[in-house]
Each structure stands twice: as structure tokens, then as C-alpha cells.
Amino acid sequence: MANLVYKRVSTDRQSTDRQNLVLDEAGIEDPVVFEEDPGTSSRLHPLERPKFGELITYSRPGDTVHISEMFRLVRGTGHILDVLDVLHRDRLALRIHDGAFSAMDLTARHPRTGELLSTVKFMVQTLAAAGELQRDLQRELTYDGLRAAEAKGNKGGRRPAVTAARAASVRAGYRGGQSIAALAREHHVSRGAIRTAVADLLPEHTAADQDALAPELPVVLDMPGKVADFLRAADLEPAERTALDQGVTVRRGQGYTLRISAIPAVHRRLLDRCQPLDGTSAIPAQRKARREYENRVSNLGQ
């Protein structure tokens, strides 16, 4: 009887580090790994994905399919029931090692009819529907937050850097006495972009060359689960996505926190990304979770 491990990430900027951690902690013996190409969308039916198809072809009755969390394999209710039918047909067991489904035997069947137990089917449909509702709400909140920001004149996303064509003008303006803030407003870029363009002209440049600042060291912070759920659906930079994917889940009653190790700058950028959770369109629990995370990030400077 073989242990078949299935892994998947939704974008090519994500990694399987978190899945590896959960599966390694499970102590699976002699795993045979089937990993989809990066960026394999959850919208593609599991039975149509190349690596899951290979897993089913490779499997033999009595084998066990292992996944870190249910959503690595399926998203919608229909997908779950389709996959369970195939696993039952091929007499395969399913073991989920983290998340809401981890304590359930999803392959349990009625001893006489052979059909999926009604209680199991009900729980699967309920939990899957709750997961879909959560993702839909996250998308709606993100959209509403972006619209609110646009109404205030903020288009969102990263502000453009200073182009080579503008660099000479920026440097001339700085030499002429214009402040970094004024140059940023004039050229519609961030202050950081202006600082980068005039880095060698800044007063601290010489001192930095003589005595370079030590690099920032990673700091461990607990991110509330509601913030983590929101950020997983957000468009993140590679360093931010890596920090999120490598976070360790810590169960807190019915919820959880994600223990993230990253340099302070990454923690601050992740805090900026969840700004929509502070808006009126967010539910109270999300606003509270963001405030808690903001307090923890703010304490980094103390």
C-alpha cells in the first residue's frame, strides 16, 4: 500500500514550503509525490489536472492519498463529491493533515448501499460552502476597498519608479533645493523612488559607505487568521508571498494565527496590504484582527 502525496499552488509566485512543513510533520512513510506545475488554478477540475490524473493512474486499491489541506485539491462542493466518488471507485483512502477536514473520514460509506454516508456528505457540503462564502466575501471586500481608495484618488498597487528619462530632472531638482516630498508629488512617484534616484546625493550616503548599516534580521510575529485569509487572496510581492506561505499555523480555539518569520520591512508591507480590512465594508471581526496585527507590527520599532 503506497502513500501518494499531492501538492499544488495557485500562482508561480507561491511555494510549497507550508505544505511541505505540514506533510513532513505528519511523518508519511515512503511518500510518492505528485506536484502540479506552479500556477495550476483551483478553477481547473481536479480530475482534469495533469499530476492528479497521474496519481489516479499510478494508484492501486488500498493506497492512501495525502494532502496538506483540502483546498490544495478541491475548492467547490461539486469538485469534492466528484473526487470522493473516484477515490471510492478505486478503493483509495484520503488523508487531510490540516484544516477543517483533517478530523473527518471523508471516504466513509454505508455498509450496505456503498453510498457516501449522509452525515459525511452533509459536512462536506457545509464546510465547502462556508469556504466558498469566505473566499467570495474576501474578493468583495478587496474590490470594495479598491473602489473606496480610487474614490479618494488612490489607484492602489505599487507607485511607479523614476524612469531613466526623468532621473536627470529629479536629480537636478534635488540639487536645486527641492525636497524629496515635493519631487515625489511633482513626478507622481513614491518618496522611496525619489530617494533611490538621488541616493548618492543624500547627506547620509557618505556615512553609509563608511559604516554600512547591518541588514535587518527576521522577526517572528503572529498574524490573526482573518488577516492571513484576506492576504492569501491578495496580490503580493514575492517576498511577501513567501513569508505568508512559510508561516506556521497555530490553532486558537475555533480560529488560528499564522506565525510568520520575516524582516520588519516585509511585516510592514503585509500590514499595508490588508488596509481594506480597516474599511467600513469589512466585518467587525476583520477590523479587530487588523488592529491587533497593526499593534504587533507597530511594536517592532519599540
**Is 268's pLDDT higher than 60?**
yes
Q: Please check whether residue 270 is in contact with residue 45, taking contact to mean a CB–CB distance below 8 angstroms.
A: no
| Predicted local distance difference test score (pLDDT) of residue 6 | 94
Residues 223-235: tens digit of each pLDDT: 998 898 888 888 8
Q: Please check whether residue 261 is in contact with residue 244, taking contact to mean a CB–CB distance below 8 angstroms.
A: no
> How much helix, strand and coil, in percent to the nearest 5, is found in the chain?
50, 15, 35
* DSSP-based three-state secondary structure for 7: strand
Q: Residue 44 and residue 53: Cα distance in Å, rounded?
A: 12
**Is 7's pLDDT higher than 90?**
yes
Q: Residue 189 and residue 160: Cα distance in Å, rounded?
A: 6
| Predicted local distance difference test score (pLDDT) of residue 103 | 60
Within 8 A by CB and 6+ apart from 261, the residues are 218, 219, 220, 243, 246, 247
| Entry pTM | 0.45
| C-alpha cell recorded at residue 56 | 489516479
Q: Please check whether residue 131 is in contact with residue 75, taking contact to mean a CB–CB distance below 8 angstroms.
A: yes
Residues 95-145: tens digit of each pLDDT: 888 876 676 666 666 667 766 667 666 766 676 666 566 666 766 776 676
Bigger pLDDT: 208 or 68? Answer: 68
